[in-house]
Amino acid sequence: MTMTIHHTAEPEANDLRARLDAATGRGQRTKTPTMAAVVRAKGSHLWTADGRRLVDLAAGVLVANLGHDHRGFERAFARYAKGLPRTAYNFLTPIEVEAAERLLASMEGNRNAQKLLWAASGSEGIQKALWAAMHKNPDRKILLATRKGFHGKKGLAGDVSGEESPNPNVRWVPFPTDEIEPKAHYAKELDRLGRDHRDDIALLITEPYLGAAGSYHPPKWYLRMLQDWCRDNDVPFILDEVQSCHGRTGNMYAYQTYGLEPDLIVLGKGLANGEPAAAVVGRADLIDALDYGEASDTFSGNPRACAAVCAALDVFEDEKIVEHARERGVQLRAVLDELKAQFSFVTAVRGEGMVYGIEMRDDDIARECVLEAYRGTGKKGVHFLGPLAGKVLRVSPPLTIRREELYEAHRILSRAWTRVG
């Protein structure tokens, strides 16, 4: 059974897609209507195997926050990584020490940013955060998670994702989506869970916003309410910032945007600008609840990942990336609002900073919009991640995208989407 996607006038890409399908399993990839075959990337542009240029509005699932082939990042990365071993499983390197100290120092406004654990992916980081909280209070079994969240596909990370779980110890807390209930509605549900599982709740995990569920961004009081409830009930509060860290919401970290001080924060995706790296940052008593070897794995905290973390921090500091992203986010919102006004099948635009969701009338329209954006105006197109949640297109360009590149994407979409429906 094949999933090969074929586009007209793309002989090179069609060949690559067919060969990949022949050599790898379907489960390796996320299904997308385009399956673009990219051979080069620079800044906020991707070039396909057949010479088409795409404006990248995905940043590789919110990973390439500094854009592709960023000169400052690549130079700093090469400098930090020069001569280092490619693994440090059973020894340490100075770059790991530097990366850990700098990452902790970057988390201003959070007194709980005391120690960290490295991981090689966001879902691994989530698992380690859950382990830490569970080891801190081993007699507590109940895991609270907000509904419709996504924390990963594997193990415990998968158990606390979605709305149902194979894990009998998971309980769900409502998260504001299409209709925001009064604060008392959510507080009542939390109090009920507290009564039902008194002294047996190991943790509460949530995201700053629901990205995979369709880009739902809650009022600030909601996340603060969760944190306050956790403090009142001595429950570790875990914030999954795998996709929101490093500038996405208008601050370096989303906990700053929402006025929070979580007990544990999980960082990933943009943390190392594309190198496989993630981290759990938080209270020392929680981090140290895991003894020697209980959080170790082959690639976590390897020297090249730590070099990339330092290089990314250099660029954020030297080029004032967060300030640039705030300015560009205002323009991004204006572009998306113009598209909503132009096309009746765009039913909603939701988001903040440099991460948005465009909701379409239905799943078929959303799929068609992704395809027509890719086809664009011939040699130029727009690359989307999605659709997500059936009918929502995520918009998460590199934070370094230029004003003219945003307007280029707008011009292409304004023409391409006239062919939809």
Domain covering 11-70+320-419 in this structure, CATH number: 3.90.1150.10
Contact between 373 and 382 under an 8 Å Cβ cutoff? The reply is: yes
Cα 152 to Cα 125, 156, 397, distances in angstroms: 10, 8, 22
Please report, for the chain, the start and end positions of each structural domain, with discontinuous segments joined by +.
11-70+320-419, 87-301
Region 182-211: mean pLDDT is: 97
Region 221-246: mean pLDDT is: 98
At 54, is the secondary structure helix, strand, or coil?
Answer: strand
Cα 181 to Cα 146, 150, 175, 248, 274, distances in angstroms: 15, 22, 10, 26, 38
**CB neighbours of residue 112 within 10 Å:** 21
Sheet order of strands, 385-388 included? 346-352, 355-360, 392-395, 385-388
Q: Is the pLDDT of residue 274 over 60?
A: yes
Q: Is the pLDDT of residue 114 over 50?
A: yes
Contact between 145 and 206 under an 8 Å Cβ cutoff? The reply is: yes
Q: Is the pLDDT of residue 421 over 90?
A: no
Average pLDDT, the chain: 96
Region 406-411: mean pLDDT is: 98
In this prediction, residue 59 has a pLDDT band, given cuts at 50, 70 and 90, of: very high
Q: Is the pLDDT of residue 2 over 60?
A: no
Contact between 209 and 313 under an 8 Å Cβ cutoff? The reply is: no
pLDDT digits (tens, 9 = 90+) for 341-373: 999 999 999 999 999 999 999 999 999 999 999
Report the candidate in 233, 288, 236 with the shortest Cα–Cα distance to residue 261.
236
Domain covering 87-301 in this structure, CATH number: 3.40.640.10
The burial of 361, by beta-carbon neighbours within 10 Å (0-12 exposed, 13-18 middle, 19 or more buried), is given as middle
Q: Is the pLDDT of residue 1 over 80?
A: no
pLDDT at residue 231 in the model = 98
Instruction: State what percent of residues in the chain have pLDDT above 70.
Output: 99
